[in-house]
Chain A
């Protein structure tokens, strides 16, 4: 079983070719639109790519492989630090791995690199720990060359279903998502990372207000800045990295505005002592910010954005321990962009749809409940990295490797056997880093007082343009007792992003108005990304390949 080359079955698009809803064919080279190009496993593979056994994969062109598909031993979703470590470790131990990722290149959010056409001689200038990543991608390339790992880039998995002993993974392919592919695997490892958490405040929908992680992502991949003078605000350690990158890349960052403080870390000295790397990282960022003249303002928040067509400045207010704005403390900082974020949220929708249980983390987010072997509560599904809780890149590396070894132990492995000492070391490292993540999460967890920043006309849900006033009315006057009912009454969270941007805020507003703890439960989305109806029809039971 291990050495059969798993296959990707091509599922036809409507009518097997460009249909009326697909728009004009963009007619540019391979890799630009998944509908017309061959699988990216072939197209995008680096040296030694063009893996044997993948030549028949032409997602979105024909359904030829119906009935002829074999299962990979393991499907890894996400090629960030966790997924990469998992895929190469599993392949080292003889498993056939299919690695699916929505992006064109491996690396995930942290090791997001400039597109090859940008000709970056030193992509590592925007990253720490580049050598670890380079080592993993070199191993990945070797496994791709032998066909042991098939890396399906630009494959966004939108649904996973159990089919007999297998998992069937349905994805949209290509940069525009026009193509379709279904992959089968015996075991599933979720390494889907996270997205940024946002809290609403007056003016946060104005052009020039961007996610802090989003600004970082656009900088790393596209070498662009949202403005020349950028205030960085919100909460969490990622803000330091963002402010440092922006200044390195030439932006002027007048202030880093942190709603919490950094003192909370000191309350867990043993955890700090066990994680000297984290302390060094914090010190390094602090030094870099001081050198670049970035003022770090803690216990303050951006409570309003000014400008008509785009950002012209922000109001910064002092906040108390609960993040309640202190009256009379406002002051204005002129800027042409605001990069804002309040931590990260594990991306777990595929798992929760499949029934995997969750836990509440110290930062208030929901993460997958995992045992020490990184198994979810659903047999056959493992997870590594941020879906198990926000914890940073080193933890993602360790968990990816550990999860793969656990899959091998589960009976998937051939030679060489698992090194027990390595497992023990990884488990210890994981426990230490998870402890640090909890301290960090607690330190930056949003205080309840943030809703004091919102005016009645502040939009909470960006997609459906639902205001804080409408949410409060639903809770106070219309009798909504929980976030779900708020959603139904106001449409908050029912637009394109499916509540990814507003889910936390709506849940917390509901709790402030007396709704139960359950109100802020993990968002359940039947689909992991918006999917054309045609794709749903193709994947309907009875029409499977």
Chain B
């Protein structure tokens, strides 16, 4: 246990990547509603969207309200997105892939799916 670093003693980093000394593999891009979003290999779609300050990528079925990631671990289903035409994907679990097309999922996502 002696080798472990205590996060508390570490001086404050400016970004999460700095904190863990990240040297990521080259970033790539995917699109969200036509907008280009950079992502790092292994990042979930939700994480990449958060990094780009996008917090909502779904509108609810009943009231059309915006939603994004909430539980962060695959339990709440608030982060559903349409990915490459496939609706109801949990963006907090699904790693982003180069060239993915992510679109705001409206309602239960079936309109896009059938269309």
List A residues at the B interface (Cβ < 8 Å): 22-24, 26, 28, 32, 102, 109, 114-132, 175-176, 195-196, 205, 207-211, 213-219, 221-226, 244-245, 247-250, 284-285, 287-288, 292, 309-310, 462-465, 495-497, 500-501, 529-530
Contacts and interface: CB of A to CB of B under 8 A. Distances in A.
B7 A117 contact: no
Interface in B64-104: 65-78, 80, 83-86, 89, 92-95, 97-98, 100
B22 A118 contact: yes
A455 to B, nearest CB: 15
A223 B20 contact: yes
A32 B12 contact: no
A218 B50 contact: yes
Given A123-B20, A207-B68, A248-B8, 18 more contacts: A23-B86, A115-B43, A119-B24, A130-B5, A209-B70, A213-B71, A213-B72, A219-B16, A222-B47, A223-B17, A226-B50, A248-B19, A249-B15, A287-B8, A309-B66, A465-B62, A465-B65, A495-B77
A207 B72 contact: no
28 contacts: A23-B85, A114-B20, A115-B41, A118-B24, A121-B20, A125-B7, A125-B10, A125-B20, A126-B20, A176-B83, A207-B67, A208-B55, A211-B71, A214-B69, A216-B72, A218-B46, A218-B47, A218-B50, A219-B16, A222-B47, A222-B51, A223-B20, A223-B47, A225-B16, A250-B12, A309-B56, A309-B66, A462-B76
B91 to A, nearest CB: 11
A31 to B, nearest CB: 9
Chain B, interface size: which category? 35 or more
Q: Is the interface of A mostly helix, strand, loop or mixed?
A: loop
A213 B74 CA distance: 12
A250 B4 contact: no
A207 B44 contact: no
A26 B19 contact: no
Interface string B3-44: 111111010111111111111110000000000000011111
Interface of B: 1-8, 10, 12-25, 40-44, 46-48, 50-51, 55-56, 60-63, 65-78, 80, 83-86, 89, 92-95, 97-98, 100
Chain A to chain B: the 9 pairs with minimum beta-carbon distance, closest first: A115-B42, A222-B47, A117-B41, A214-B72, A23-B86, A121-B21, A496-B77, A117-B42, A207-B55
Contacts of A463: 77-78
